[in-house]
Amino acid sequence: MEAEAAMAPAAAAAATGAVRVEKVRGRSAVTRCFAKYPLKLIAPSKAGRASSGAAWLYAITYGGGIVSVSRRIASSSSPGLQSTNQPTGDIISCTVAVGDGCAAAMTTQASTKVYKAVDSKCSEQVLEARVGEDALFALIPDPVTCFSMARYHQKQVFHVFPNSNLVVVDWFTSGRYESGEKWNFSFYKSINHILLEDQPLFIDSVLLEQSSNFSIADRMQEYNVVAMVILLGPKLKHIQDQMQDEVKKMMSVQLRPPTSAGGRYSTRSQPLHPQRPPIIASCSPFGRMGTGMVARITAVSTESVYSFLRHHLAALEPFLGACPYPAS
């Protein structure tokens, strides 16, 4: 397959997982699925309506999380799968090739847990995906949850064509906040690159690190979840438009200044610190002619973000054969 062959040999050698999706008898099928510790990949034969013809993949880590161990990972020569040149914990690197005209979804069975770092080692996840012409790839995982003192770095690189279609959900929580553990991890960094025919189309980086002046908790206040949703491609234009319209309406209501019962000229004092909305979202187009859209969300609870994703990505069902993030 040309898309997979284009991946750097050094990257393929370093990968702990490799997936290829091709057309087989008119349906998208996983024709290669390789994984080694600490990654496990499951490709169920029935994960949605057969009429959709989409392939589904589940990424699982042994023990349900990522841990730090005593080893150093050298930087790969591949620009896409380049890891940090620092002492690391577990490193998971996976390549995905979605062939022309195929549809594939990659998800998880639960949140990815990142355990406490040992000796300042940083655990990593790296993904490089190539999405063929008129193909659809949906990366729709559960959130990353970093435990107290954890250090985590991830990088995701997507290679697309002008008519490729891409859905990326990248999100993380404050930790085990229901148990009182909020924003206690030491370091979190997430990088997302989208390359259109090897030219940068979308570059994004999120970094949270404890500071001697202000902790992460001080900066995040009562919010416990941060999420980003990327929608790109002609097949997803109607989903982009609907999400932008609904987010605009939602935020215009939630951020509307409170009005007093006394009318426009009332002298009744308003609270100096009005209650913040439980979820805040914004949408921005990117690319030529707004071919892509990025939505950014922050919320008090994980469930409110699940509800947001469930509602706004429900229109993917005809392409994937099932709704992302179904209610349990």
Strand, coil or helix: 160? strand
Q: State what percent of residues in the chain have pLDDT above 70.
A: 82
* pLDDT for 159 beyond 80: yes
Residues 290-311, mean pLDDT to the nearest whole number: 96
Can you give the pLDDT at residue 263?
47
* pLDDT for 87 beyond 70: no
Under the banding of pLDDT at 50, 70 and 90, the label for residue 63 is confident
pTM of the model as a whole: 0.86
Question: Any idea which of 37-51, 116-130, 162-176, 292-306 has the lowest mean pLDDT?
Answer: 37-51
Can you give the pLDDT at residue 265?
40
* pLDDT for 84 beyond 80: no
Residues 196-207, mean pLDDT to the nearest whole number: 96
Question: Any idea which of 113-122, 203-212, 236-245, 270-279 has the lowest mean pLDDT?
Answer: 270-279
Can you give the pLDDT at residue 290?
79
Inter-residue contact 162 to 192 (CB < 8 Å): no
Under the banding of pLDDT at 50, 70 and 90, the label for residue 123 is very high
Can you give the pLDDT at residue 301?
96
Q: Which of 6-15, 175-184, 219-228 has the highest mean pLDDT?
A: 219-228
Number of H helices, E strands in the chain: 6, 19
Distance from the Cα of residue 191 to its chain's centroid:
10
Closest CA to 320 of 109, 44, 105: 105
Convert 183-207 to b/e letters by CB count within 10 Å (16 or more is b): bbbbbbbbbbbbbbeeeebbebeee
Inter-residue contact 240 to 230 (CB < 8 Å): no
Strand, coil or helix: 171? strand
* pLDDT for 270 beyond 60: no
Half-sphere exposure in the Cβ direction for 255 (13 Å, CA): 10
* pLDDT for 236 beyond 70: yes
Please tell me which residue, 8 or 313, carries the higher pLDDT value: 313
* pLDDT for 277 beyond 50: yes
Alpha-carbon dihedral sign for residues 20, 31, 322, 42: negative
Under the banding of pLDDT at 50, 70 and 90, the label for residue 266 is very low
Can you give the pLDDT at residue 89?
65
Question: Any idea which of 123-127, 214-218, 227-231, 254-258 has the lowest mean pLDDT?
Answer: 254-258
Can you give the pLDDT at residue 80?
52
Under the banding of pLDDT at 50, 70 and 90, the label for residue 4 is very low
Q: What tokens were used for 221?
A: 């206040």
Longest Cα pair distance anywhere in the chain, in angstroms? Answer: 72
Can you give the pLDDT at residue 289?
80
**Alpha helices by DSSP H, the chain:** 2-5, 9-14, 216-220, 237-254, 302-312, 317-320
Under the banding of pLDDT at 50, 70 and 90, the label for residue 43 is very high
Question: Which residue type sits at 243?
Answer: M
CB contact set of 103 (below 8 Å; sequence gap of 6+): 28, 52, 53, 54, 55, 135, 136, 137, 319, 320
Inter-residue contact 127 to 6 (CB < 8 Å): no
Q: What tokens were used for 12?
A: 């393929």
Can you give the pLDDT at residue 86?
47
As a whole number of angstroms, the distance between CA 116 and CA 317 comes to: 37
